[in-house]
Structure 1
Amino acid sequence: MIIDFSQGKIIVTPDEVQIRLDQATLYGMAEDIKFKMDVQIMYADAGAVRWSLKLDSAEQLLQIKDTLMI
């Protein structure tokens, strides 16, 4: 699934998330992705790799969560 949002594109498969921003690309395996629903943030925490991203809407978060089957 591809989700367009204000900062770029999010590509989601059941196994991983790829976020394409203007200046960078972020990756995360499904098991490393977490969500803060109340503030619309998706984040990855896998040892030395850490990133977070504020999405445009709760609907986007739910679409990603459903695709990852978390």
Structure 2
Amino acid sequence: MVVDIPGGKLIVTAHEVMVKLEQSRMTLRAQVDDISLLSGAKMLIANGGSVSWSLSLHNDEQLKAISDVCGIAIKS
């Protein structure tokens, strides 16, 4: 699944999440096991091993879609 975000794209598969930021030509990548989803703040959080970053999502639909593709439960 590909989601357009300001400044780039969020690419989600059953195994990993990638954030491609166009202006800085940066790619953030994390395995699904290192991902958390928070409903209140609409945040995608990657934290595991040497990976540590977060991304604010724009709406609950994006959060739900990522949850469906990755099989990650959304925390409140």
Aligned-residue RMSD, C-alpha? 1.0
User: Structure 2: which 5+ runs fail to align?
Assistant: none
Equivalent position of 1:56 in the other structure? 58
Q: Percent identity between the aligned chains?
A: 39
Moved >2 Å (runs of 4+): none
Higher helix residue share: 1
Equivalent position of 2:67 in the other structure? 65
SS of 1:38 mapped into structure 2: coil
In the TM superposition, what are the counterparts of 1:31-50 in structure 2 within 5 Å? 31-50=33-52
Deviation per CA, 1:6-55, whole angstroms, max 9, x where unpaired?
Answer: 23101111000011113111001011100111111101111221000001
Q: Distance in 2 between matches of 1:11 and 1:37?
A: 19
Kept in 2, the 8 Å contact 1:6–1:56? The answer is no
User: Structure 1: which 5+ runs fail to align?
Assistant: none
Pair member with larger Rg: 2
> TM-score, structure 2 length as denominator?
0.85
How many residue pairs end up in the alignment?
70
